[in-house]
Amino acid sequence: MGPVISIASPFTLDSNKIDEVTKLIASSAEKVQNQDFWIKSRPFYYSNKLEYSEILEDYKDLAKFLNWRPKSVYYISAGCNDILDHLILGNIAFEFCKLLEGVILFGSLLSNYTSDNEILNNPNLIHYHNETIFKVREFELWMLHPDFRLVK
Protein backbone atom coordinates (compact mmCIF):
# COMPACT_ATOMS: atom_id res chain seq x y z
CA MET A 1 0.00 0.00 0.00
CA GLY A 2 1.24 3.47 -0.84
CA PRO A 3 0.51 7.03 0.23
CA VAL A 4 -2.93 8.50 0.75
CA ILE A 5 -4.04 12.12 0.45
CA SER A 6 -7.33 13.96 0.91
CA ILE A 7 -8.75 17.11 -0.64
CA ALA A 8 -11.36 19.15 1.20
CA SER A 9 -13.64 21.28 -0.94
CA PRO A 10 -16.09 24.09 -0.20
CA PHE A 11 -18.53 22.46 -2.64
CA THR A 12 -21.14 19.84 -1.88
CA LEU A 13 -20.73 16.72 -3.96
CA ASP A 14 -23.15 16.81 -6.82
CA SER A 15 -23.28 15.05 -10.16
CA ASN A 16 -21.50 17.95 -11.92
CA LYS A 17 -18.49 17.87 -9.54
CA ILE A 18 -18.35 14.07 -9.68
CA ASP A 19 -18.40 14.24 -13.50
CA GLU A 20 -15.58 16.82 -13.49
CA VAL A 21 -13.46 14.60 -11.24
CA THR A 22 -14.20 11.54 -13.39
CA LYS A 23 -13.14 13.46 -16.52
CA LEU A 24 -9.96 14.66 -14.80
CA ILE A 25 -9.01 11.08 -13.91
CA ALA A 26 -9.90 9.77 -17.36
CA SER A 27 -7.72 12.44 -18.98
CA SER A 28 -4.56 11.13 -17.28
CA ALA A 29 -5.27 7.45 -16.68
CA GLU A 30 -4.50 4.63 -19.08
CA LYS A 31 -7.33 2.61 -17.59
CA VAL A 32 -10.25 3.40 -15.27
CA GLN A 33 -12.32 0.71 -13.61
CA ASN A 34 -14.92 2.04 -11.15
CA GLN A 35 -12.82 3.97 -8.62
CA ASP A 36 -9.55 2.28 -9.53
CA PHE A 37 -7.31 3.75 -12.17
CA TRP A 38 -3.81 3.24 -13.55
CA ILE A 39 -1.22 5.80 -14.57
CA LYS A 40 2.12 4.60 -15.97
CA SER A 41 0.90 1.07 -15.14
CA ARG A 42 0.72 2.01 -11.45
CA PRO A 43 -2.53 1.47 -9.49
CA PHE A 44 -4.44 4.28 -7.79
CA TYR A 45 -7.82 4.61 -6.12
CA TYR A 46 -10.13 7.53 -5.41
CA SER A 47 -13.31 7.96 -3.42
CA ASN A 48 -15.73 10.72 -2.60
CA LYS A 49 -17.32 8.74 0.25
CA LEU A 50 -16.65 10.21 3.67
CA GLU A 51 -14.12 8.13 5.60
CA TYR A 52 -16.28 8.55 8.71
CA SER A 53 -19.46 10.55 9.19
CA GLU A 54 -17.97 13.19 11.51
CA ILE A 55 -15.07 14.18 9.25
CA LEU A 56 -16.72 17.38 8.01
CA GLU A 57 -17.38 18.34 11.62
CA ASP A 58 -13.70 17.69 12.47
CA TYR A 59 -12.64 20.27 9.88
CA LYS A 60 -15.36 22.88 10.54
CA ASP A 61 -12.91 25.25 12.25
CA LEU A 62 -10.89 25.54 9.03
CA ALA A 63 -13.35 28.33 8.26
CA LYS A 64 -11.25 30.55 10.54
CA PHE A 65 -8.34 30.17 8.08
CA LEU A 66 -10.12 29.73 4.75
CA ASN A 67 -13.39 31.66 5.04
CA TRP A 68 -15.25 28.47 4.12
CA ARG A 69 -16.08 25.14 5.73
CA PRO A 70 -15.39 21.87 3.91
CA LYS A 71 -18.56 20.42 2.43
CA SER A 72 -16.94 17.40 0.79
CA VAL A 73 -13.72 15.40 0.97
CA TYR A 74 -12.08 13.37 -1.79
CA TYR A 75 -9.54 10.64 -1.03
CA ILE A 76 -6.88 9.41 -3.41
CA SER A 77 -4.37 6.66 -2.73
CA ALA A 78 -1.53 4.92 -4.52
CA GLY A 79 -1.24 1.15 -4.60
CA CYS A 80 2.57 1.24 -4.44
CA ASN A 81 5.08 3.24 -2.42
CA ASP A 82 7.94 4.18 -4.76
CA ILE A 83 8.85 7.85 -5.17
CA LEU A 84 7.14 7.71 -8.59
CA ASP A 85 3.86 6.83 -6.83
CA HIS A 86 4.27 9.80 -4.48
CA LEU A 87 4.93 12.13 -7.42
CA ILE A 88 2.01 10.88 -9.50
CA LEU A 89 -0.32 11.01 -6.51
CA GLY A 90 0.92 14.51 -5.66
CA ASN A 91 0.18 15.68 -9.19
CA ILE A 92 -3.29 14.13 -9.14
CA ALA A 93 -4.04 15.73 -5.76
CA PHE A 94 -2.76 19.07 -7.07
CA GLU A 95 -5.14 18.90 -10.05
CA PHE A 96 -8.06 17.77 -7.84
CA CYS A 97 -7.35 20.65 -5.48
CA LYS A 98 -7.42 23.21 -8.32
CA LEU A 99 -10.58 21.72 -9.82
CA LEU A 100 -12.42 21.58 -6.49
CA GLU A 101 -11.04 24.94 -5.28
CA GLY A 102 -10.06 23.15 -2.11
CA VAL A 103 -7.14 22.39 0.16
CA ILE A 104 -4.90 19.38 0.67
CA LEU A 105 -5.35 17.58 3.97
CA PHE A 106 -1.83 16.21 4.37
CA GLY A 107 -2.64 13.70 7.12
CA SER A 108 0.39 14.59 9.26
CA LEU A 109 2.48 17.56 10.24
CA LEU A 110 4.88 18.57 7.50
CA SER A 111 7.62 18.78 10.14
CA ASN A 112 7.55 14.97 10.24
CA TYR A 113 8.82 15.00 6.64
CA THR A 114 11.25 17.91 6.47
CA SER A 115 13.30 20.10 8.75
CA ASP A 116 13.61 22.87 6.15
CA ASN A 117 12.48 26.04 7.92
CA GLU A 118 12.01 27.85 4.63
CA ILE A 119 9.04 25.64 3.80
CA LEU A 120 7.91 24.98 7.39
CA ASN A 121 7.65 28.69 8.16
CA ASN A 122 5.54 29.50 5.10
CA PRO A 123 2.78 31.73 6.51
CA ASN A 124 0.23 30.21 4.12
CA LEU A 125 0.54 26.71 5.57
CA ILE A 126 -2.21 25.89 8.03
CA HIS A 127 -1.33 23.78 11.06
CA TYR A 128 -4.58 22.25 12.24
CA HIS A 129 -5.06 19.48 14.78
CA ASN A 130 -1.64 17.84 14.26
CA GLU A 131 -1.93 18.10 10.49
CA THR A 132 -0.62 20.46 7.84
CA ILE A 133 -3.20 21.84 5.43
CA PHE A 134 -1.89 23.05 2.08
CA LYS A 135 -3.40 25.58 -0.25
CA VAL A 136 -2.73 24.87 -3.93
CA ARG A 137 0.37 27.05 -4.30
CA GLU A 138 1.99 25.78 -1.10
CA PHE A 139 1.41 22.18 -2.13
CA GLU A 140 3.03 22.89 -5.48
CA LEU A 141 6.10 24.22 -3.63
CA TRP A 142 6.17 21.08 -1.47
CA MET A 143 6.05 18.86 -4.58
CA LEU A 144 9.17 20.63 -5.89
CA HIS A 145 11.04 20.26 -2.59
CA PRO A 146 13.84 17.63 -2.37
CA ASP A 147 12.21 16.11 0.77
CA PHE A 148 8.85 15.66 -0.96
CA ARG A 149 6.91 12.63 0.24
CA LEU A 150 3.28 12.02 1.04
CA VAL A 151 1.85 10.29 4.10
CA LYS A 152 1.66 6.52 3.98
Q: What domains sit in the chain, N to C, each tagged with a CATH number?
A: 4-144 (3.30.310)
Q: Return phi, psi of residue 98, to 5°.
A: -65, -45
As a whole number of Å, the end-to-end CA separation of the chain is 8
pLDDT category of residue 143 using cuts at 50, 70 and 90: very high
For 73-87, the pLDDT digits (tens) are: 999 999 999 999 999
Can you spell out the DSSP letters for 19-51?
A: HHHHHHHHHH-SEEETTEEEETTEEEEEE-S-S
Grouping H, G, I as helix, E, B as strand and the rest as coil, residue 65 is: helix
Q: How far is CA 98 from CA 31, 135, 137, 141, 150, in A?
A: 23, 9, 10, 14, 18
pTM: 0.93
For the purposes of burial, counting CB atoms within 10 Å of the CB of 38, is it exposed (0-12), middle (13-18) or buried (19 or more)? middle
pLDDT value at 54 more than 90? no
Reported as a pLDDT band with limits 50, 70 and 90, residue 115 is: very high
Residue 12: band (very low, low, confident or very high) from pLDDT cuts 50, 70, 90 = confident
Higher pLDDT, 51 or 134: 134
Please answer whether residues 74 and 9 qualify as being in contact, where contact means their C-beta atoms are separated by less than 8 angstroms: yes
Pairing assessment for the beta strands 42-47 and 72-78 based on DSSP bridges: antiparallel
How many Å apart are CA 105 and CA 138, to the nearest integer?
12
d(CA 93, CA 15): 20
